[in-house]
Amino acid sequence: MLNPRLLQTPRAHALILLAPALIVYTVFAIWPMINVIVLSVQRWDGLSDARTFVGLANYEHIFLRDPVYWVAFRNTILWTVLSVIFPPVIGLLLALGLNERLFGRGALRVVYYLPVIIAPIAVATMWRWMYDPFFGLFNQLLTNAGLEWLIRDWLGDRTIALYSVFVAYTWQSVGFSMVLFLAGLQSVDRSLVEAAHIDGANRWRVFRHVTLPALKPVLTIVLVLSIINSLKAFDIIYGMTQGGPAQSTQMLALWAFTQAMQIFDFGRGGAISVTLLVITLLIVVPYLRWTQREEGRP
Amino acid sequence: MTAVTTTRPADEIVPAKRRDPLLIALWITLVVIALIWIAPFVFIFFTSLKSNAEVMSSSAFAPPASVHWPNFEGAWRNGDFGRTLINSTIISFVKVPLGLLISAMAAYALARIRLRWNKALVLFVLFGTMIPFQVMLAPLFTLVNGLGLIDTYVGIILPYLAFGVPYQVFILQGFFRAVPKELSEAALIDGASHITVFRRIFLPISLPVLAALLILDFVNTWNEFAMALVILQDSAMWTLPLGLMSFQGQFSSDYGQLNAAIVMTVLPAMIVYLIFQRYFVSGLTSGALKG
């Protein structure tokens, strides 16, 4: 039996307090991350006992013989670039606008943020219906406006499907960047802005030389979060196109899922996951080191 | 008449603001964008109240001529919404408070008890906030399957807890760190244990942060799809998002019912948001901006 006095030390209490969270986090978040590397060097259908070590054969397959992998790779990069540009820029513009003392700005903020709290799968269902080629919102509006020549099968046309999905994603994610920028704008020194105005600086120059420098930390956070969130893009694509038509909206996260959970090739699915994980770490690790450095500063 | 005379002085105090054409243009732009932002909701809501014949004949933003309630009844029955609603409720109501409790406990220990590996542990946790679980769906399935927990509440709640812990611990330990030393030191000197100090002092003072995290986590848990898709394979165990996805596959041409199903899925989260919206912003920004 343990000495009961041992349980009264601060160290023991720390362990008791830490244990539940750390155990569940390590077992169900960290371990799968390590295990995916193990899976990626095996051939396995996910259920049977037949697991064989195959070395780098899965990587060789996805890199050299899987035509979909590179399509998914290209789409993921394109999607990430778009996600780093459009939602943050629109979010920043909205935040700058809402930072002025305007009538009803609280209500406007609520409206812009509303899509963020909706399940991505519901956003996918909503937009699928709006993109419906026959009775959907967009083609109806185009017909009413006499612009029939613009009518498209928005999700069925492989040249535009990815962009159609991205529009829905932008609608959902702009509010997230906006809220972070609005919080960041609170840290901009009002007296500095007013002083610049009195000195005759126009709005653009005030923004460029006073507001923007003060927003730098938030800007970094928004960009990093945008990249990470975009690499996670799964629900909205699964719900809208499932990667189609003709793999034109296929992404790495979804392709890894498809390989493992639908084709039952856990090895190849694992190898795809590992490549995505490496890309994520290339962004996360420098960012974490940067935040540690910033924290060290006075 | 009196109203006119009383508003005059106010007019003279802020003449520049009133006439600034740039601000008026900005306001109009923001309102127009807000209308575009809210248009999909209006379209979905109107469609959910129309019969199929009316969907095909009326224009998109025309309000329904007569409210067609059978859409909701049909969607509720065909989509088995009663069951998915119960599953989502059970999972969220167990996961969210439990996750917050274990996160707060760990955050207290990291922030207020001196340990040799404090800093490393904080980094270890912070790392988890950035790792996409979408990468790990297959190994998660393997793990939960190995434990025999596929199609169980426990099997989905454990991974949900694991992926909720990092963000919450990170925010709460930042908050606890900022609490003045005097508040806990006196109690510790009087012989109270760390567990008592945590329960009697730190939990009560952090209620606003906990409320913000609770609401944020509730919406995230309620909306989660990818992990549920992998772990809850039996339709009797499905959550609302899984139910909606399956409904979309089967009834995609019954527009009225499909839109009724969308309305029923998003309504709970929307109501929670509209009631508690000021907490959302604080819950979201407190962590991200101090990070």
Residues 4-33 of chain A whose Cβ lies under 8 A from any Cβ of chain B = 8, 10-11, 13-14, 16-18, 20-22, 24-25, 27-33
Q: What distances in angstroms separate CA B259 from CA A111, A123, A190, B68, one per listed residue?
A: 20, 12, 46, 12
Does B105 lie at the interface with A, CB-CB under 8 angstroms?
yes
Query: pLDDT value at position A101?
Result: 82
Does B137 lie at the interface with A, CB-CB under 8 angstroms?
yes
Tokens 């362990």 found at: A15
pLDDT, one tens digit per residue, over A111-144 is: 999 999 999 999 999 999 899 888 888 888 888 8
Q: What distances in angstroms separate CA A294 from CA A182, A212, A286, A298, one per listed residue?
A: 22, 18, 12, 8
Mean pLDDT for all residues in chain B: 84
Query: pLDDT value at position B3?
Result: 40
Mean pLDDT, to the nearest integer, of A64-77?
Answer: 92
pLDDT tier, B35 (very low <50, low <70, confident <90, very high otherwise): very high
CA distance, residue A257 to nearest chain B CA (Å): 7
Which is more confidently placed, A295 or A174?
A174
Mean pLDDT, to the nearest integer, of B152-164?
Answer: 95
Mean pLDDT for all residues in chain A: 87
Is residue A42 within a helix (H) or strand (E), and if so which, with residue range?
Answer: strand A42-43
Residues 8-67 of chain B whose Cβ lies under 8 A from any Cβ of chain A = 17, 22-23, 26-27, 29-31, 33-34, 37-41, 43-44, 47, 55-56, 59-60
Query: pLDDT value at position B286?
Result: 60
pLDDT exceeds cutoff 90 at B17: no
pLDDT exceeds cutoff 90 at A30: yes
Percent of chain A's residues with pLDDT above 70: 96
Tokens 């007013």 found at: A194
Query: pLDDT value at position B285?
Result: 65
CA distance, residue A159 to nearest chain B CA (Å): 23
Q: Which residue of B has its CA nearest to A289?
A: B123
Does A234 lie at the interface with B, CB-CB under 8 angstroms?
yes
Of A51, A129, A297, A189, give the one whose Cα is nearest residue B46. Answer: A129
CB burial of A257-281 (b: ≥16 within 10 Å; e: otherwise) equals bbbbbeeebbbbbbbbbbbbbebbe
pLDDT tier, B284 (very low <50, low <70, confident <90, very high otherwise): low
Least CB–CB distance from B165: residue in A25, A33, A280: A25
User: Is B140 in contact with A115 (Cβ distance < 8 A)?
Assistant: no
- Per CATH, which fold does A52-119+161-296 belong to? MetI-like fold (1.10.3720)
Query: pLDDT value at position A81?
Result: 94
Does A207 lie at the interface with B, CB-CB under 8 angstroms?
no
pLDDT tier, B290 (very low <50, low <70, confident <90, very high otherwise): very low
Query: CATH classification of B79-290, choosing from 3.30.360.10, 1.10.287.1080, 1.10.3720.10, 3.40.30.10?
Result: 1.10.3720.10
Q: Which residue of B has its CA nearest to A217?
A: B289
pLDDT exceeds cutoff 90 at B120: no
Does B69 lie at the interface with A, CB-CB under 8 angstroms?
no
Query: pLDDT value at position B182?
Result: 81
Per mean pLDDT, which of A2-6, B62-66, B106-110, B213-217 is the most reliable?
B106-110
pLDDT exceeds cutoff 90 at A13: no
Q: Which residue of B has its CA nearest to A138?
A: B60
pLDDT tier, A3 (very low <50, low <70, confident <90, very high otherwise): low
Mean pLDDT, to the nearest integer, of A241-248?
Answer: 88
pLDDT tier, B14 (very low <50, low <70, confident <90, very high otherwise): very low
User: Is A129 in contact with B258 (Cβ distance < 8 A)?
Assistant: yes
User: Is B142 in contact with A276 (Cβ distance < 8 A)?
Assistant: no
User: Is A117 in contact with B273 (Cβ distance < 8 A)?
Assistant: yes
pLDDT, one tens digit per residue, over A138-163 is: 888 888 888 888 888 888 888 999 99
Cβ-Cβ contacts under 8 Å between A and B: the total is 287
**Cα–Cα distance between B247 and A121 in angstroms, integer?**
12
pLDDT, one tens digit per residue, over B162-206 is: 999 998 998 898 888 888 888 788 888 888 888 888 888 888 888
**Cα–Cα distance between B259 and A95 in angstroms, integer?**
31
Domain limits of chain B? 2-68, 79-290
Tokens 């004949």 found at: B57
Query: pLDDT value at position B231?
Result: 94
Q: Which residue of A has its CA nearest to B57?
A: A135
pLDDT, one tens digit per residue, over B41-96 is: 998 998 888 888 888 777 777 788 777 888 888 889 888 889 999 999 999 999 99
User: Is A117 in contact with B270 (Cβ distance < 8 A)?
Assistant: yes
Residues 200-219 of chain B whose Cβ lies under 8 A from any Cβ of chain A = 219
Contacts of B169 in chain A (CB under 8 A): 21
Is residue A53 within a helix (H) or strand (E), and if so which, with residue range?
Answer: strand A52-53
Query: pLDDT value at position A296?
Result: 62
Does A292 lie at the interface with B, CB-CB under 8 angstroms?
yes
pLDDT tier, B12 (very low <50, low <70, confident <90, very high otherwise): very low
Does A160 lie at the interface with B, CB-CB under 8 angstroms?
no
Residues 259-288 of chain B whose Cβ lies under 8 A from any Cβ of chain A = 259, 261-262, 265-266, 269-270, 272-274, 277, 280-281, 284-285, 288
